[in-house]
A and B are shown apart, each in its own frame.
Chain A
């Protein structure tokens, strides 16, 4: 129904259309219309499937060395070539994807959850703001890789600890972004209206604050996913993350670097994989952000 404003007469209602909205249906509809998001989701789905099926589709055992085939370029026998020990790069990338994707996912989930909680507390309940933010500033003062190294050296070397270290080093950026957004949303009149109605703080945070700070969080999460994979790769390279001979994309890139002049494929393919996954996440993240905004059709 559409209301025609009647200035000098009765208000007139005209039946124009009756829309029934389902929040989730319109979300999917919008996401499906977004080509970028579909491409992103496709890329991610491809890498996730490949890594999951690594033992099934990998043509060689992951750590089998075939010295007669060392530093071979891409061929029918070794699709993506081999490394200096003659290990099949394609197989190693399938397995490495498991580690890298998991690393990124776990690090972003941990840091995102903690970061959002701390950010909301700092931004909404201003009493703790100063303490939380000063602590975050201290964390931010260290280069994130340096801090991750420090944390790993405290917790001990290993994949799990590397994930935790990367997660901790990413938390401050989440807290900063969330706190800033919460600060602006909590001053809006619709939050004030809810307070005037007597809505409890927890409900205000869940129903008003979080939905309206979701966009920057999603964008940041997609960006941090990529950089987490890179940080994890750097840790692996330093011998603090994935331990040789276990493959990991970042480790593969760093090893490949030393053979760049003889074997370009050793660095190119893992690097390409990282790039594509990060791109996929960014595309999907943009799509999610738009689909969650009812103002965009």
Chain B
């Protein structure tokens, strides 16, 4: 396989908990706790997980919108985490983000034209404002808006149209990779489909690569080539889309899959109901973080943190059930 476009290795983002008068450090919230994966050019990596599992923090840590605590992020072989401010600013043109809430991600006091012009002028795209204006018109057409929208303010648009503006801002600087942080979860279902189709269309025409974060399995299934399942700051399973849906390995993935409703009323699926809530990331359970809710949990799960086990070249899972050392315990 070709060189990966983006390599994330053991990425950790911890938030210190400061309490009391002296602001002493009382432990950490381990929002992202050792994530590793690779993204290849032209593919879409889906990331799913419950709310609070660290999906968004992971996306922002890769872009260094939140500074990661440790680990490495390499873009085309270049280490991102050690770049200084001006180097990072240049690289920002290569990696972009589309936000979840189209109502919060556009400055209410700026026109659409000004929002897009900021993106272009920051990266010195277009020699003068006239040329940039043409490019902005072109961008608006690309995302399915019209050139007459250029002078309007964000509040004059619907949610779907606002998200199109957010997408236009992200593609304005010709990035290679876009991190889409739950870009459709704030939209109506009918509009979701349109935005997802826009993502696909842009991927084909502009040769984009996506990391697509979502909590909706059907959305992720629709857009992704590979899917990573996150639980409490870790990726517990990473696999090709088809394999993951056909044969989920990790007990958490199995539970997630069993929750997908079937279109055929005659198919009776076995529902795996998870007990309890996602544990507090400030005080994660010992051993495997999933063991308090896992139906297969054994003693070993309470003590040992599961390793990432390569099932085949494209598939990994972090569970003792698939570890040769512990397999006989299950």
Contacts and interface: CB of A to CB of B under 8 A. Distances in A.
Interface in A101-140: none
B151 A21 contact: yes
Nearest to A7: B190
A156 interface: no
Interface in B127-163: 144-149, 151-153, 155, 160-161
Interface stretch (A164-172, A206-214, A266-274): A206-214
Interface in B93-135: 93, 96-97, 99-101, 104-111, 118-119, 122-123
Interface stretch (A31-39, A79-87, A194-202): A194-202
Interface string B175-207: 000000000000000110110000000000000
Contact of B107 (A13, A23, A212): A212
Interface stretch (A46-54, A184-192, A231-239, A253-261): A184-192
| Top 10 A-B residue pairs of the complex, sorted by shortest distance between their CB atoms | A198-B92, A198-B89, A189-B105, A1-B146, A21-B151, A211-B109, A294-B153, A190-B107, A189-B104, A1-B148
Interface string A7-37: 1000101000011110100000000000000
A56 interface: no
A271 to B, nearest CB: 39
A200 B149 CA distance: 27
A75 interface: no
B99 A21 contact: no
29 contacts: A1-B146, A1-B149, A3-B145, A3-B161, A5-B190, A7-B190, A7-B194, A19-B148, A19-B152, A188-B104, A189-B104, A192-B65, A192-B105, A193-B99, A193-B105, A193-B169, A197-B118, A197-B123, A197-B173, A198-B92, A198-B123, A200-B89, A208-B107, A211-B109, A212-B107, A212-B108, A212-B109, A293-B109, A294-B108
Nearest to B144: A11
Contacts of A196: 63, 65, 92, 96-97
B166 interface: yes
Interface string B198-225: 0000000000000000000000000000
Contacts of A194: 118
Contacts of A198: 88-90, 92-93, 122-123
Name the residue among B101, B151, B155, B173 with the largest chain A CB count within 10 angstroms.
B151
A196 B123 CA distance: 12
Interface centre among A20, A21, A189 (most CB of B within 10 A): A189
A127 to B, nearest CB: 14
B99 A192 contact: yes
Contacts, number: 92
Contacts of A294: 108-109, 153, 155
B152 to A, nearest CB: 7
A21 B110 CA distance: 12
Nearest to B103: A189
Interface residues of B, number: 44
A19 B118 CA distance: 22
A21 B119 CA distance: 21
A1 B149 CA distance: 8
Nearest to B93: A198
A18 B109 contact: no
A190 B107 CA distance: 6
Contacts of B166: 193
Contacts of A195: 65
B313 to A, nearest CB: 33
B167 to A, nearest CB: 11
Interface in A129-170: none
Nearest to B104: A189
A142 to B, nearest CB: 25
B98 to A, nearest CB: 9
Interface string A280-297: 000000000000111100
Contacts of B107: 190, 207-208, 211-212
Nearest to A195: B65
A292 B145 CA distance: 26
A207 B147 CA distance: 23
Contacts of B110: 207-208, 211
Nearest to B60: A192
Contact of B153 (A190, A197, A295): A295
Contact of B101 (A13, A19, A189): A189
A189 B48 CA distance: 21
Nearest to B96: A196
Contacts of B190: 5, 7
Contact of A190 (B104, B149, B152): B104
Contacts of A211: 107, 109-110
Contacts of B123: 197-198
